[in-house]
Amino acid sequence: MKFLNKIQDKITYVRIIAVGYLTVILVGTGLLMLPVSTAAGEKTGFLSALFTATSATCVTGLVVADTATHWTLFGQTVILLMIQVGGLGFMTMGVLMAVLLRKRISLRTRGILQESMNYMQMGGVIRLVKTTFKGTLLFEGVGALLLAVRFIPVFGVAKGIFFGIFHSISAFCNGGFDLMGTYSGQYSSFVEFHGDVLINLVLMALVVLGGIGFFVWSDVKKNGLRWKKYMLHTKITLFTTAVLLVAGTVLYFVFENQNLLAGMSGKDKFLAAAFSSVTARTAGFNTIDTGGLTHASKLLTMLLMFIGGSPGSTAGGIKTVTTLVLVAYVWSNLRDSKGVHMFHRRLDDDVIRKASNVVVISLLMAVFAVIFICFVQPTLPVEDVMFEVFSAIGTVGMSTGLTRSLTTASRVVIILLMYCGRIGSMSFALSFTERKKVAPVQFPVEKIMIG
């Protein structure tokens, strides 16, 4: 009995979440390896199927085979289901089914769900699941309808409806997978629609709504437009998201005005710049050639990919809240202020410590991944390798075209980065460690020099 209790203690919430995502990936890999999943009717190799399944479940969008031309309707449906499960979280989907079947939700399940959704408290987590389901159904449904209006005249009724559903789910879940390969060429994404106002606005709206977080939905739904009533988390999320979107749009416009945006109308330039700013925040679509970006735009994209979306959302990255917390912490230290304050509230020291851990662990993973890939493939441009790595760990899916050139070892590294990016870099690290009790006696303090 003691042995069983010890095993149960070691199966932490983080480990259950990590194993859950791994299970979804492996099941998806098996389905994608079936001949019925490919247009050629042939079996897809294990590594290619694993890469695709990981990218879909971790809502990344990096691909080694064009989604539209390589996979059949069955294969595309499998990918779509993995995107939906990965975007909302497998625990959210499981609890949702239990709620619909009127099953009792145990305390342990609620705890796992709280950890999975990155929710601040266990109370109200089931209510949040219901809000998430209703919001997802509404946003994806409206998005699919609007996209179908544009796609049906181009692809026909049946295909247009499927394209609307597929891209609506992919955008809302920040998946980055698209089916434009049969229309505008393989790996082309939405380049042919760079001036289409409806498609651009719908996709951008879905990406932002999916990336601000389920808790923010609940808070906004409860308090409407009364800013003072919002919780601190909601204020930080909305403020940081707005700043990044506006700043990103302006900078892309400036950096690409004489490059990829040259020759476009003013409207098309604005749409392309805004779309680039939105999609770099873990969506993975593109309406301009990512490989042709200027060096400044590529560095900007890497920064936005690293930041990503918001906690408890379908997006990846270190998250907007983490970024603003660290910026506020540094600014507070420079001013020699006592404590870190934001929107007339003081931040807890544990929050700052966690934010620091997330950034450091993510950066270390990215650096070691870049070094390893450059070592095994020395002919690859370092800038493109960095772009690929940040895209993977931020679960973005944007690429300069390097993905198909990666060797087996490099692809395995990218797979691990996508997996870590989805469950969280710190969560991934914690799944291999065992929390120890703080010793009653601590070592003496000694000062060192910093900076």
> What is the per-residue pLDDT across 198-236, written as a single tens digit (0 to 9) for each?
999 999 999 999 888 888 888 888 898 899 899 998 999
Say which range, 9-13, 422-426, 440-444, has the weakest mean pLDDT: 9-13
Residue 451 lies in a domain: no
Average pLDDT, the chain: 86
Residue 232 lies in a domain: yes
pLDDT of residue 431: 47
More confident: 379 or 18: 379
Model confidence, pTM: 0.88
pLDDT 10s digits, 245-288:
999 999 999 999 999 999 899 999 999 999 999 999 888 899 99
Q: What is the mean pLDDT of residues 316-338?
A: 89
The answer to whether the beta carbons of residues 298 and 264 sit under 8 Å apart is no
Element (H, E) at 418: helix 408-423
pLDDT of residue 218: 82
Residue 241 lies in a domain: yes
**Count of domains for the chain:** 1
Residue 445 lies in a domain: no
Residue 449 lies in a domain: no
- Interhelix angle 157-172/73-88, rounded to 10 degrees, is 30
The answer to whether the beta carbons of residues 287 and 200 sit under 8 Å apart is yes
The phi-psi region of residue 312 (left if phi > 0; otherwise alpha if psi is between -120 and 50; otherwise beta) is left
Residue 230 lies in a domain: yes
Residue 144 has pLDDT above 60, yes or no: yes
More confident: 310 or 384: 384
Q: Which distant-in-sequence residues (6+ apart) come within 8 Å of 448 by Cβ?
A: none
The Cα–Cα gap between 152 and 380 comes to 41
Q: What percentage of the chain exceeds 70 in pLDDT?
A: 84
Residue 55 has pLDDT above 70, yes or no: yes
Give the single-character DSSP code of 288. Answer: S
The Cα–Cα gap between 327 and 329 comes to 5
pLDDT of residue 215: 81
Q: Which distant-in-sequence residues (6+ apart) come within 8 Å of 53 by Cβ?
A: 25, 26, 28, 29, 32, 82
Residue 304 lies in a domain: yes
Residue 444 lies in a domain: no
Domain span at residue 29 reads 2-430
